């Protein structure tokens, strides 16, 4: 049965799994490249007094970088599958640099030890949820929708707390944020796996790798920021 009409179906299944594994390796490879670029950029900016003064001397300079970040996220998310692979990769790298610029404030506000602790905890939680999302046979689509709704609610409450400045609400937001992005990490991992299976072997598989890397990169960074809110020790 495995060799019907001269075709070895078992070998075909192995080839398919190998192709999917290679594609997921590309996704995580690009994600790690983005994180490294962001980390190095943030660290460099934080150690340059001249650049720090330029960024934070005026509110609108920093705000401009934040707006530019949002534009890049929208651009890559909506156009990654329609543009040249090289352009998609370049846009992701540029976004990683921009995010490093805005995240440089972390090294100015928190101690190095607490930043390192938050990073390694994030890596552990993130890795576990990625593996779960990739291997589970449970369809996480409905849960993903709930987490996305929770994320929108979290953003609204966070904006409100900018004015209320409630300490209790700050901690609630922090822990709920961790829970939401843990869930989104598993959901997005499963979704990216499904998309990769669809496009593996096509000319768009590398574009999928960049798009998937962006999605998981955002999950990692946001999870890290919420964990840092809980564990971070301010200078």
Helix or strand run (H / E) with residue 157: helix 141-164
Helix (H, G, I), strand (E, B) or coil at 167: helix
| Structure confidence at residue 3 (pLDDT) | 54
Interacting residues of 159 by C-beta distance below 8 A, sequence separation 6+:
none
Spell out the domain ranges in the chain: 4-231
Nearest to 214 by CA among 119, 100, 65, 91: 91
Could you identify the residue written with the tokens 């000319």?
Answer: 203
Is pLDDT of 45 > 60?
yes
pLDDT digits (tens, 9 = 90+) for 82-139: 999 999 999 999 999 999 999 999 999 999 999 999 999 999 999 999 999 999 999 9
* Better-scored residue on pLDDT, 199 or 61: 199
User: pLDDT grade, residue 154 (50/70/90)?
Assistant: very high
| Vertex 6 angle, CA 5 and 10, to 5° | 105
Helix (H, G, I), strand (E, B) or coil at 234: strand
Burial class (CB in 10 A: 0-12, 13-18, 19+), 212: buried
| Vertex 44 angle, CA 43 and 49, to 5° | 110
* Mean pLDDT, residues 59-67: 85
User: pLDDT grade, residue 4 (50/70/90)?
Assistant: very low
Is pLDDT of 5 > 90?
no
Is pLDDT of 232 > 60?
yes
pTM here is: 0.91
What token pair was written down for 201?
């072997």
- Cα–Cα distance for residue pair 229/225, rounded to 1 Å: 6
* Better-scored residue on pLDDT, 126 or 235: 126
Q: What percent of the chain has pLDDT over 90?
A: 82
pLDDT digits (tens, 9 = 90+) for 93-105: 999 999 999 999 9
HEC-encoded secondary structure of 169-202: HHHHHHHHHHHHHHHHHHHHHHHHHHHHHHHCCC
Torsion of CA 18, 20, 24, 29, to 10 degrees: 50
* Better-scored residue on pLDDT, 4 or 130: 130
| Structure confidence at residue 9 (pLDDT) | 42
Is pLDDT of 7 > 60?
no
pLDDT digits (tens, 9 = 90+) for 164-216: 999 999 999 999 999 999 999 999 999 999 999 999 889 899 999 999 999 99
Interacting residues of 192 by C-beta distance below 8 A, sequence separation 6+:
24, 27, 208, 212, 215, 216
């Amino acid at each position: 049965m495995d060799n019907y009409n001269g075709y070895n179906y078992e070998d075909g299944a192995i080839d398919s799994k190998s192709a999917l594994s290679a594609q997921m390796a590309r996704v995580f490879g690009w994600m790690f490249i983005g994180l490294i670029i962001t980390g190095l950029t943030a660290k460099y900016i934080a150690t340059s007094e001249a650049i720090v003064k330029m960024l934070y001397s005026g509110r609108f300079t920093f705000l401009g970088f934040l707006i530019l970040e949002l534009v890049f996220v929208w651009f890559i998310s909506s156009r990654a599958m329609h543009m040249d692979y090289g352009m998609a990769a370049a846009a992701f790298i540029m976004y990683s640099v921009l995010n490093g610029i805005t995240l440089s404030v972390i090294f100015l506000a928190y101690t190095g030890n607490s930043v390192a602790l938050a990073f390694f905890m994030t890596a552990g939680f993130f890795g576990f949820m990625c593996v779960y999302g990739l291997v589970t046979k449970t369809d996480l689509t409905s849960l993903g929708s709930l987490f996305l709704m929770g994320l929108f609610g979290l953003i609204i409450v966070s904006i409100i707390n900018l004015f209320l400045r409630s300490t209790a609400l700050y901690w609630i937001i922090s822990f709920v944020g961790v829970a939401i992005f843990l869930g989104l990490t598993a959901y997005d991992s499963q979704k990216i796996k499904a998309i990769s299976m669809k496009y593996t072997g096509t000319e768009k598989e590398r574009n999928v790798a960049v798009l998937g890397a962006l999605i998981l990169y955002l999950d990692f960074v946001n999870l890290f920021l919420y964990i840092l809110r809980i564990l971070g020790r301010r200078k």
